[in-house]
Structure 1
């Protein structure tokens, strides 16, 4: 960890707790800042805030009072989930105060090389694959960021000979100033999170911010199958390594003769890869690129790709029961991810879906429902999902109270050879705090069958 002095005696306001807010507060306190933490949850219900009080950090709980900005703060560190429309954040911006997220702090103190990974879909799988490939090459490597471990915590441990593989959301990337990964990956960009971002334009530019500060010494791995994305990053100073699942890109990663190539070098045959789903091919290409640029050999890459079967909550095989295979794809919080999951299977499928209603319809799923024999819907979008199923001509349509009941119904109506797929196409927040909790409930119920 770099012992930086830039925060010593500086007044910093951390807005929003959860894991990233707690980690940022403790780090800033350690770096000599005068830290105040503000969280909406009342102090009596807020264990995180109480723990920070014990460390001597000032805490203001119960609301986000704009009057806090009168206390002369020089910097705001914002929890990524808090939107920029929040009155306190808007007030800070109007006052000209810098507003960052904790990944900026992680970069400032990190001695390790950083690989940053973003995109609408595939971030977690790509991050995990890169981590495994570098581990297989016997390199010291840490996973961090949106994948679950707070980046500024990991950065305090990682040394100059280590590598941090950091999954980054658009929410995090909107709060960077100097953050600069040695290798950046943009898996893809599709319409998403428009309840947070004002437009697709803002969302796409947030993703592209990952390469904003890169120089000629850095690398950008980017999806050559998306012309709009290629235009968006055309001004990047980094060395570009394009990848494509549809065409040959001699200077990048591509598929030819049912094999994967890196800069014209044969890496692996597609038949040797065990990770299911055509959508994962993009993730595999990205991961190979980052691993090769980081010094991993072909044997390490081959070892991972012939054994890695998937990430928890992302088209994760759970169990076979009475000839029926159950898959947990709780991380599918948008219809694009559910399309990818449905496209991975050809067997008769029972789709478990539904969740938070963001106001969108799901008609784009229609072409992907041909193998769906039954739909079991729950949550705020239950009626929308069942209307979609009716439009698709699905005969068995069921509405249930939640994920747990959906497993019981699926078990009741399934037959040997079927697939039961939890792929909600919606966020979990109407019934569960995270998609992980939703997925764990599914897994536990399946294992009780």
Structure 2
């Protein structure tokens, strides 16, 4: 990593522990800072908190006392903490800089960065790019929202390596100098309005990904959404992708994938299922071609990569019924892709955290839904949606109960699909936990019915 001296003697407040806060605190200590970690919850049983205390970090939990700001030079904020809380509002009034952990990671990283964001597809794209790098002679290090803390990964990279970083809108709100060589926005639709307040604020956060880029850098963008860039001050080279028309980047023509008029692969040879994944393929091809990877590495991935956990993940087939885990579908657009992927009758497990949106975006995607199994805080909204479309439904306590209920209504030739169209946080810590419960319970009912 870079020899950074900017933090020596600085007093830094790490707001929010979790994995990123823990790694951030350790890095800042290494860089010579005096570190305080503050978390609103209880850290009494946290092994990470105890480990930090052993290293000399002051750890304050169960609240955010404003006195913590009195000698603070910088705040590194957990992305999920809203800027509206009192301590951050007061920090802004005092002109204390507030960044997120990916900004710190960027400042110490010696190599180049490919940064991936978007409403949907960013994890699949990050995984695809990561696999293409793995097949090549260039090292690419996965980081960010995909599960690897960026500030830890950045310490392990060499100058010739790439950081492959999945970014949320929350993280992008807290950058200052962050400048990826290749920035990717897969798409932008309505999401996270409970955090951002308005769609305009959400879009602005996403577009932050290219704000520090120069003419030497690239922005890969969806050609169907060009209008979103109309009022933006873009200094980088914009490379478009499209499944419907030729572009200056990657596109599909006559069922073949091209990049800048160079043939890459026949669509029929791509093993990743789903029409929506063709866009993810095009994005990944463009990024890896711009990064200088050979076609052999790209093609090897496209002919072997079958998908990621919790994203239209085939679980099993039992007595003619197929079960799919799409727990990562935390919004209506992602759920629409899953619902459109099947020609068979679908038993749809849906619902979760109410983030203020409706479900009218799914009006055109439920013609094959035979029954809905509704869970979570959005139950009343989804009951109304089911009534409007004449779909039978069952109200369930949670995903486990929903899986059990499907056993009473399914028959051979049908599909059980967990694709919630909602975040998990009303009942589950993460969408992974929700998906794992689905997988476990499918296994239980399959054993019971043997």
Instruction: Give 1:58 deviation, angstroms.
Output: 0.8
The answer for the alignment partner of 1:22 in structure 2 is 22
What is the rounded CA distance, in whole Å, between the counterparts of 1:242 and 1:227 in structure 2?
9
Q: Please, which of 278, 287, 290 is the counterpart of residue 287 of structure 2?
A: 290
Secondary structure of 2:202's aligned partner? helix
The answer for the alignment partner of 2:421 in structure 1 is 425
What is the rounded CA distance, in whole Å, between the counterparts of 2:189 and 2:267 in structure 1?
26
Q: Please, which of 196, 218, 237 is the counterpart of residue 239 of structure 1?
A: 237
Aligned-pair RMSD on alpha carbons?
1.2
Secondary structure of 1:80's aligned partner? coil
What is the rounded CA distance, in whole Å, between the counterparts of 2:410 and 2:138 in structure 1?
45
Instruction: Give 1:97 deviation, angstroms.
Output: 0.9
Residues 297-347 of structure 1, C-alpha deviations (whole Å, 9 max, x = no match): 222212111221111111111111222211111111111111111112221
Q: Please, which of 267, 274, 278 is the counterpart of residue 277 of structure 1?
A: 274
Instruction: Give 1:447 deviation, angstroms.
Output: 2.4
Contact between 1:102 and 1:151, CA under 8 Å: does it hold in 2? Answer: yes
TM-score by length of 1: 0.97
Contact between 2:194 and 2:356, CA under 8 Å: does it hold in 1? Answer: no
Instruction: Give 1:391 deviation, angstroms.
Output: 1.4
Asked if 1:198 corresponds to 2:197, the answer is yes
Residues 58-97 of structure 1, C-alpha deviations (whole Å, 9 max, x = no match): 1111101122212x21101000000000111111011111
What is the rounded CA distance, in whole Å, between the counterparts of 1:202 and 1:183 in structure 2?
23
What is the rounded CA distance, in whole Å, between the counterparts of 1:295 and 1:44 in structure 2?
49
Asked if 1:391 corresponds to 2:394, the answer is no
Which runs of 5 or more residues in structure 1 are unaligned? none
The answer for the alignment partner of 1:369 in structure 2 is 366
Asked if 1:440 corresponds to 2:439, the answer is no
Instruction: Give 1:43 deviation, angstroms.
Output: 3.6
TM-score by length of 2: 0.96
Query: Which of structure 1's runs of 4+ aligned residues deviate more than 3 A?
Result: none
Secondary structure of 1:426's aligned partner? coil
Secondary structure of 2:105's aligned partner? helix
Asked if 1:41 corresponds to 2:37, the answer is no
Count matched residues: 445
What is the rounded CA distance, in whole Å, between the counterparts of 2:356 and 2:78 in structure 1?
25
Instruction: Give 1:383 deviation, angstroms.
Output: 2.8
Contact between 1:136 and 1:303, CA under 8 Å: does it hold in 2? Answer: yes
What is the rounded CA distance, in whole Å, between the counterparts of 1:11 and 1:281 in structure 2?
47
The answer for the alignment partner of 1:382 in structure 2 is 379
Alignment of 1:211-226 (within 5 A): 211-226=210-225
Instruction: Give 1:42 deviation, angstroms.
Output: 2.4
